[in-house]
Amino acid sequence: MRRYFLWFVSFVILLIPALAFIFYAFLFSPQSPEKLVQIQIQSGTGLNKVASELQATGVIRSALALKLLARWNHQSGKIQAGNYQFKNPASPREILDRLIQGDVEKVSLTIPEGFTLQQIIARMAEKGFGKQEKLSKLVYDTNFIQSLGINAESLEGYLFPETYLFAEGIDEKALLKMMVTQFRSYVDSELMRDAEKLGLTLHQWLTLASIIEKETGIVAEMPLISSVFHNRLKRDIPLQTDPTVIYGIKDFDGNITRKHLQTPTPYNTYLNRGLPPGPIASPGLAALQAAVHPAETNFLYFVARGDGGHTFSKTLKEHNIAVREYLKQRRRK
């Protein structure tokens, strides 16, 4: 009897490492799918369904292993929705970590500097990131705007121009909030203190930056453009900037005329002194910086040179000479 007992004990001792190895392989050994696997997990999809699909597509050996791990770690209800891709060898533990962290395939949306609110909405809808009608309502929705900590009538200027990466299926509110959060990451800083030193509120700062953005695409010129506007504001001289006039014209056809310059609108800076009521586009970081860090100049005027840059002048006489030179160059072309 003693001999049988010893044999049994020896058998158990040998069996335990074997079972441990099998258990480890069951839960932690990598599995490689035969080909790239894409799985779309909808919001609210249960663990059982996800685990079964992963097993059926060869991502994991056993759905049971994934479910055991999730339940052991109290993570059964924490799987994130989205589009997942699986192509490299991975263990059930690693697969579960990806599902919990929401390591989904990202899509991108690029908003260029100087885009107006309407252009941004059109770009988002065109790329399939929301419906144009819903976006158009949200960007003017007072309650939604206030929930973002913004005191304005619209989100014009507050949607930061950037290339955004996010999970496919993001809703309109979440995407707009992401863009405002990106804007906040730049303005809730030393730059805001610099704006306050100049006597500018956040809204005024953003308005000035948007005008600078629309006036030039040359970053090196932005502080000079800024200096002209600051000098005019200090002397209570109208800004006389075409982009604001254009913004106030409904259905602008691309050709600004004398009639446009004489048409009263809140954005006509030829007729109205000071800054217009709000931003006219989304400025980038360079324009935001230039608006609060103007160059130290006595310039009051600037005119296009025809090569993308501008000629800056201190007096009206100098400016008129620069304008005539610009017109000569246009006629030569």
Residue 50: CATH number of its domain: 3.30.1490.480
Is residue 295 located within the same domain as residue 197?
yes
Burial 290-299 (b: 16+ CB within 10 A, else e): bbbebbeeeb
Residue carrying structure tokens 């252009």: 119
> Does 215 reside within a domain?
yes
By three-state DSSP, how is residue 188 classified?
coil
The pLDDT, as a whole number, for residue 190 is 87
Is residue 179 located within the same domain as residue 203?
no
Nearest partner of 281 among 190, 186, 325, 215, judged by Cα: 215
Is residue 138 located within the same domain as residue 196?
no
The pLDDT, as a whole number, for residue 26 is 55
CA distances from 90 to 19, 25, 70, 212 (A): 21, 12, 16, 51
Element (H, E) at 312: strand 310-313
Q: What is the mean pLDDT of each run of 10 residues along the chain (333 residues)?
A: 53 49 56 78 81 86 82 81 81 84 81 96 92 94 95 96 84 93 88 94 97 96 98 97 94 87 94 97 96 97 88 93 83 70
Q: What are phi and psi of 239, to 5 degrees?
A: -65, -35
- CA 162-165-171 angle, to 5 degrees, is 100
Could you give the CA distance from residue 98 to residue 108 in angstroms, rounded to a whole number? 20
> Does 70 reside within a domain?
yes
Burial 25-62 (b: 16+ CB within 10 A, else e): eebeeebebeeebebebeeeeebeebbebbbeeebbbe
> Does 288 reside within a domain?
yes
Per-residue tokens: 244: 């604001």
Nearest partner of 98 among 86, 116, 110, 114, judged by Cα: 86
Is residue 204 located within the same domain as residue 291?
yes
| Distance, CA of 260 to chain centre | 33
Nearest partner of 92 among 113, 73, 116, judged by Cα: 73
Is residue 117 located within the same domain as residue 52?
no
Is residue 220 located within the same domain as residue 292?
yes
> Does 16 reside within a domain?
no
* Count of domains observed in the chain: 3
Residue carrying structure tokens 């296009």: 304
The domain boundary residue, chosen from 183, 199, 232 = 183
Is residue 237 located within the same domain as residue 292?
yes
Angle, to 10 degrees, between the axis of helix 92-101 and the axis of helix 2-28?
A: 40
Is residue 226 located within the same domain as residue 140?
no
Say which residues have a Cβ less than 8 Å from residue 88's Cβ, sequence separation at least 6: 32
Is residue 171 located within the same domain as residue 196?
no
The domain boundary residue, chosen from 149, 183, 217 = 183
Domain coverage including residue 38: 28-101
- CA count, 13 A, side-chain hemisphere, 161: 21
The domain boundary residue, chosen from 183, 205, 225 = 183
The pLDDT, as a whole number, for residue 13 is 59
Residue carrying structure tokens 């055991």: 68
Could you give the CA distance from residue 73 to residue 108 in angstroms, rounded to a whole number? 33
Number of other CB atoms surrounding residue 82 within 10 Å: 21
Measured between its terminal Cα atoms, the distance across the chain in Å is: 112
Per-residue tokens: 189: 């800083």
The pLDDT, as a whole number, for residue 20 is 42
The pLDDT, as a whole number, for residue 18 is 44
| Distance, CA of 331 to chain centre | 42
